[in-house]
Amino acid sequence: MAQTDVIEGVDGRRTFAIISHPDAGKTTITEKVLLFGNAIQMAGSVKGKKGPHAKSDWMTMEQERGISVTSSVMQFPYGGRTVNLLDTPGHEDFSEDTYRVLTAVDSALMVIDGAKGVEDRTIKLMNVCRLRDTPILSFINKLDRDIRDPIEVMDEIEEVLDIKAAPINWPLSSGKTFKGVYNLYTDTIHVFQQGMGHTIPDDIQIKGLDSDEASELLGVDADDIREEIELVRGATHEFDLEEYKAGKLTPVFFGTALGNFGVREMLDGFVEWAPAPQLRATSTREVQPTEEKFSGFVFKIQANMDPKHRDRIAFMRVCSGTYKRGMKMKHVRLGKDVKIADAVTFMAGDRTHVEEAVAGDIIGLHNHGTIQIGDTFTEGEALKFTGIPNFAPELFRRIRLKDPLKLKQLQKGLQQLSEEGSTQVFFPLDTNDIIVGAVGVLQFEVVAYRLKDEYKVEAIYENVNVNTARWAECDDAKKLDEFRRKASINLALDGSGHLTYLAPTRVNLSLTEERYPDIQFRATREH
């Protein structure tokens, strides 16, 4: 382990998320990272049946389907730092959720399957990271299998993801003949041992690529490998801390998550280089993490994480100051002071009460319907953190009840599911219909399942003639009012009461935009 000095407080915080294409190994590497962080006794319990995720009923659905719809936070100590790992939902349909999680981190770890290289979802997530120039560390996984030529994979990262790639270590072969990794900066070989997936393996090192010990390890391939590494040194970028922090260069590590090899080297690099909590933009000024007064924003709401509690948790990223148990905070949108007595965090799945949290930490607030995604909390100042958008849905269904007497439950359920960002709900001005909107089709299934499971309502979907939605805004109240009257047939209020234009076709949308030039039609809405 590289670090022995312990850094307390904000400077020692490292808050990150893992981004990857499904099956690249995100879950497996999360397990190993938690193993190193002593957050779990034995690797292998993150996705397992007895694992923390097995708590809630509707989560059985995600287990059956092999997808992760939940997003949680794990805090653990490593190398003298306090690491916050934010889990991102893995399925494509939940990109909106993932987007919001990425607004709450200071850096990301990109996991790439060495045999597959850069895949679709990695590209999309990388684009999201680029919006905020989030620093990215890379881990090329599955070296215990035959992978593609590592030089080719490095080239692909540079070309497809448009970021410089700087290898920190280099694999010594792969698959059956995988011998370990060679650190280009310390001239040290870390030797791979098989069968150590569930333990913290000893770090067996050989000093010097040209040493006799190295020759012995590499055997007949020794000369070829030395030549290849010489070539790699000349042909790849050198690591540069400033470029990494600016999101322009990614340090690359090789290893196997399943074999728990190379993960330690990656983690050591991570705690040394990854940025401490960064400043955050608000609508009025930038907030420094070291400011004394508390502030934070809500980036995720999760309903009924534990069916016995039947509560909702609002995940808040602390941006400045210190949260102390029992403190009063201002709920800026409501202009109200609230006392937060029982914030929670999720240490490898178990709820623990937080006594104190600083910038970079995530705390969970119990939400009884007053907190929405994007809400800012402060110690008094009327700040509003920016950059947490809603996306216009692309798929729409009318929702109908099997039992009409359950309208109240349906409305309550949809209201809550829309607050946590699982779906968007629209109430047309001229009819009593309820229309739900989603970014991906799987969201509809999840909503129907959860309505039944948690709110005991059986809902049926019907097709509806809506192609796209736009939030309608105008500074001139008179003009907005006129628009509201004249176009009411296509207008609705969303779950938070914002006026929304539901366009039956793209052509209709263009015509309407032309007809009402003073109205702004927005495809994203800031929370």
* Residue list for the binding site: 20-27, 87-91, 141-144
Toward ligand GDP, which CB reaches closer, 26 or 237? Answer: 26
Nearer to ligand GDP, 97 or 243 (CB): 97
Size of the site for ligand GDP (CB under 6 A): 17
CA Rg, the chain, in Å? 25
Compute the least distance from the CB of residue 111 to ligand GDP, in Å.
Answer: 7
Closest separation in Å from C-beta 148 to ligand GDP: 14
Toward ligand GDP, which CB reaches closer, 25 or 277? 25
CB 362, CB 86: distance < 8 Å: yes
Residue 32 or 100 with smaller CB distance to ligand GDP: 32
Beta strand 136-141 pairing with 249-254: parallel
Which one of 10, 15, 16, 20 is in contact with ligand GDP (CB under 6 A)?
A: 20
Helices (H), 66-109: 95-102
Of 500, 491, 494, residue with least CA distance to 521: 500
Torsion, Cα of 409, 415, 419, 422 (10° steps): 70
Could you tell me which of 423, 431, 469, 419 has the C-alpha nearest to residue 448? 423
257 makes contact with ligand GDP (CB under 6 A):
yes
Detail the residues annotated as belonging to a binding site for GTP.
Answer: 20-27, 87-91, 141-144
CB of 18 to ligand GDP, least distance (A): 8
Pick the stretch among 18-26, 36-44, 276-284, 311-319 that binds ligand GDP (CB under 6 A): 18-26
Q: By CB under 6 A, which span of 24-32, 98-106, 245-253, 295-303 interacts with ligand GDP? A: 24-32
DSSP label at 176? G
500 in contact with ligand GDP (CB under 6 A) = no
Distance CA 73, CA 27 (A): 14
Q: Report how far residue 226's alpha carbon sits from residue 326's, in angstroms, rounded to the nearest whole number.
A: 60
**Minimum separation from the CB atom of position 114 to ligand GDP (A):** 8
CB of 89 to ligand GDP, least distance (A): 11
Identify residues 126-185 at the interface with ligand GDP (CB under 6 A).
141-142, 144-145
198 is written with which tokens?
Answer: 């569930």
Residue 121 found at the interface with ligand GDP (CB under 6 A): no
40 binds ligand GDP (CB under 6 A): no
* Tokens 């992978």, located at residue: 147
CB atoms within 10 A of CB 220: 6
Q: Can you spell out the DSSP letters for 21-33?
A: -TTSSHHHHHHHH
Residue from 12, 37, 79, 90 that binds ligand GDP (CB under 6 A)?
90
Q: By C-beta, is 33 or 365 nearer to ligand GDP?
A: 33
Residue in 256, 278, 295, 367 binding ligand GDP, rule: CB under 6 A: 256
> Closest approach of Cβ 62 to ligand GDP, in Å?
12
Q: Is 28 in the site for ligand GDP (CB under 6 A)?
A: yes
**Least Å from the CB of residue 263 to ligand GDP:** 9
- Helices 26-36, 263-273: axis angle to 10 degrees equals 70
- 376-378, strands of its sheet edge to edge: 336-339, 328-331, 376-378, 295-303, 312-320, 362-367, 344-347, 350-353
CB atoms within 10 A of CB 41: 11
| Shortest spacing between CB 66 and ligand GDP, in angstroms | 8
Angle at 430 between CA 427 and CA 433, to 5 degrees: 45
Q: Quick one: 33 or 472, whose CB is closer to ligand GDP?
A: 33
How far apart, in whole angstroms, are the C-alpha atoms of residue 450 and residue 417? Answer: 9
Q: Is 226 in the site for ligand GDP (CB under 6 A)?
A: no
Cα–Cα distances (Å) from 490 to 485, 493, 504, 506, in that order, read 10, 11, 8, 13
| Phi and psi at residue 254, to the nearest 5° | -115, 150
Based on the shown chain and the rule CB under 6 A, indicate whether residue 26 belongs to the binding site for ligand GDP: yes
Question: Which one, 259 or 389, has the nearer CB to ligand GDP?
Answer: 259
Say whether residue 23 binds ligand GDP (CB under 6 A). yes
Closest approach, Cβ 353 to ligand GDP, in A, equals 30
By CB under 6 A, is residue 24 in contact with ligand GDP?
yes
Burial state string for 444-456 with b = 16 or more CB within 10 A and e = fewer than 16 = bebbbbbbebbbe
Q: Does 124 bind ligand GDP (CB under 6 A)?
A: no
Minimal distance, residue 46 CB to ligand GDP, in Å: 9
Whose Cβ is closer to ligand GDP: residue 141's or residue 302's?
Answer: 141
Interface residue list for ligand GDP (CB under 6 A): 20, 22-28, 90, 141-142, 144-145, 256-259
